[in-house]
Amino acid sequence: MSHQSDLIATDINAYLAQHERKELMRFITCGSVDDGKSTLIGRLLYDSKMIYEDQLATLHKDSKIHGTTGGNFDPALLTDGLKAEREQGITIDVAYRYFSTAKRKFIIADTPGHEQYTRNMATGASTADLAIILVDARHGVMTQTRRHSFITSLLGIKHVLVAINKMDLVDYSENTYDKIRADYQEFAARLDIPDLHFIPISALLGDNVVDPTEKMPWYQGRTLMNFLENVYIGSDRNLEDFRMPVQYVNRPNLDFRGYCGTIGSGTIRKGEEILVLPSRKTSRVKEIVTQDGSLDEAVAPSAITLTLEDEIDISRGDFIVRPGNLPRVNDRFQAMIVWMAEDAMVPGKTYVFKHTTNSVTGTISTLRYVVDVNTLHRKDAPVLKLNEIGRCTVKLTKPIAYDGYRRSRATGAFIIIDRITNVTVGAGMIQDRADDADRHDHWDDSPQAQSLQGQLSHVSLEERSARFGQRPVTLLLTGLTGAGKTTISYALERRLFDQGRACAVLDGENIRLGINRDLGFSADDRSENLRRAVELAKLMNNAGMICIVGLIAPDASVRLRATEALGDDHCLVVHLSAPIEVCRARDVEGHYARADAGEIANFPGVSTPYETPENPDLVLPTHELSVEQCVDQLVALLGNQGFI
């Protein structure tokens, strides 16, 4: 099971090269106190033969003095190394251990279970790919189990394994396992955990840890080690959005100026165009320098030095990104904050916010709510206390470039430092949605006159569907400027009309020339632009028509509001996915050039981000398909969904 190989004896260089290429996975063990987290890790290392003989002899000796197993071998002592931990039989600090198998390399973080040390658990989870949540089979799901599960979800860990431990103490009962599994699933249904698994184990005795056990014949699933070796994590990393915060400007001599940093997300290639924030200066990558020599391409989370073809003023804290793929830049944002200090968080107090390589002073201007980890309900509170988690509005003294935490951990996370004591007092995850503290959102507005009542038509939708031979629907075509929204919208309208369908187009420019002529291009105005278009589309749908809406609609959260307003059964989202390079080449009116020059503000893809739809009903690569082919696919979509 260990990483031992015949290559060690025959070709050590080949073995080292093979070992270096193994995928690295970081995982944590967490859960309530005494659920067996340290014991599990010790057993994992012991059964996979990853403990040296002298270390093993010491553990046997210490087990008689500090162990909690009646003098027998206590695997927990392998990670509980602090004197206070051994005296109390608990984990206090985060303990990291490294091991490897034939398939993978692993870094384990053994995190404490006590509520007092929740902040330590959050620290260990911040870099994890997977979480093993231990549950004591005798006690079931505890408060701290829920707290750690919520933090795991909050920190964006996609893979969660619930290890129901100490099955030997409940006679390996299948009913006990099923009940705990059902209780946890009921709680986890309100969390964002896309990949959830359960395994019954006995960490102390080794049942289902590395080797399968015969004591639970009712369980036919994988062992814990088999799961760790084979769970797929390759798609978890963001390789689309290139972000590199500059950590250091390397100037060893007159002939070299390099910008050092760790790639937070995405990839970069030699010769690619880059843009620097906040200056918005552009250049191209001349060379990618690393400790092992120059590269043609670098991938997150590589530590690299970039040299550029042009001389640009770049300093520590600046962001290097791609011109067509920008983070948000603002001095205000929403964040979920885990408070880690004995002294409560006070809204309005000045703190230092460390984000990537940038340190900025600011305040937590508003505590919007605190999350009850048992019920996940929100409650009002004046302050955020130790180990509490709340949604806050952060206001900084200068803008920073950032992404939502779920989009990029590296650029969506920050820590809060007390200016007087220099102690880290909190950790935050920036929310994907833009701050709405100063926005006036009309989506939830009530009519100005309370006496207004909706009127019902004397013609039903069923009658209209029978007359037109179709079901009403709105097609929202979204994409960058130049992706082909207008061209395809009117081509689709022509095709449907020739087939005898009742349809109409709501084109972005036409709407802005008429009903939306009072709107600009800020985030608020773009939201209102889409809201009014949706209201028009609803009227057309109520008349039995197919409505084709062609808008950029760059904000994912606003698009979600639009689909909710139209109704899931009356709305289809279509993403026109032409890359920005193609869109720029198609731009005969010079919009992109003017945006690059700063003449057009809030231009999606240049000076404000375009958030790609995550699960559209159809993706049209308009740079690869002809207009006719795009229309064919749209008509097929309408037919497959039963609208025509």
Average pLDDT of the residues in 323-334: 87
**Residue at which a domain ends, from 230, 263, 294:** 230
Nearest to 559 by CA among 471, 446, 402, 432: 432
| 380 shares its domain with 505 | no
**Residue 235 resides in a domain:** no
Give the other-Cβ count within 10 Å of 256's Cβ: 12
Q: Are residues 72 and 211 in the same domain?
A: yes
Summarize pLDDT for 74-115 with one digit per residue, the tens: 555 555 443 443 344 444 456 677 777 778 888 887 766 455
309 lies in the same domain as 382: no
What is the pLDDT of the chain when averaged over all its residues? Answer: 83
Chain segment 19-67, per-residue pLDDT in tens: 666 788 888 888 777 777 777 887 777 766 665 555 656 665 655 555 4
Can you give the CATH number for the domain in which 365 is found?
A: 2.40.30.10
pLDDT at position 115, please? 56
- 442 domain residue, yes or no: no
Query: Domain range spanning residue 380?
Result: 328-430
- Cβ atoms 134, 106 nearer than 8 A: no
Q: Is residue 34 part of a domain?
A: yes
Global confidence as pTM: 0.61
Domain end among 321, 343, 371: 321
**85, 161: one domain:** yes
440 lies in some domain: no
Q: 3-state SS string over 489-526?
A: HHHHHHHHHHCCCCEEEEEHHHHHHCCCCCCCCCHHHH
Residue 223 CA to residue 207 CA, distance in Å, equals 9
634 shares a domain with 525 = yes
- Beta-carbon count within 10 A of 479 CB: 28
The CATH number covering residue 50 comes to 3.40.50.300
Phi, psi of 130, deg, nearest 5: -145, 150
Domain shared by 207 and 259, yes or no: no
Q: For 162-187, how does the pLDDT look when each residue is reduced to its tens digit (9 = 90+)?
A: 999 999 999 999 999 999 999 999 88
Tell me the pLDDT band of 438, cut-offs 50, 70 and 90: very low
Do 74 and 202 belong to one domain? yes
Q: Tell me whether residue 436 is in a domain.
A: no
Report residue 118's pLDDT band, with 50, 70 and 90 as the boundaries: low
In the structure encoding, which two tokens stand for residue 391, read together?
């949604």
Q: Which helix (H) or strand (E) holds 344?
A: none
- Can you tell me the mean pLDDT for 282-289? 93
Last residue of a domain, one of 302, 321, 340: 321
Cα–Cα dist 605/579, whole Å:
10
> Domain check: are 340 and 200 in the same one?
no
Q: Are both 264 and 223 inside the same structural domain?
A: no
Residue 348 backbone phi and psi in degrees, to 5: 95, -15
Q: How far apart are CA 643 and CA 629, in angstroms?
A: 19
The better pLDDT of the pair 506, 594 is held by: 506
Same domain, 253 and 223: no
In a domain, residue 456? The reply is no
pLDDT in the model for residue 457: 79
Domain count, the chain: 4
Is 444 contained in some domain? no
Looking at residue 447, what DSSP letter applies?
Answer: P
- Whether pLDDT at 434 is above 90: no
Does 451 reside within a domain?
no
Clarify whether residues 553 and 405 are in a common domain: no
pLDDT value of position 79 = 54
Which tens digit of pLDDT belongs to each residue from 227-274?
998 988 877 778 888 999 999 999 988 889 999 999 999 999 999 999
The reply to whether 23 and 81 lie within a common domain is: yes
Rounded percentage of the chain residues whose pLDDT exceeds 90: 41
Q: How wide is the angle at C-alpha 530 spanned by C-alphas 528 and 532, nearest 5°? A: 70
Q: How many helices (H) and strands (E) does the chain have?
A: 18, 28
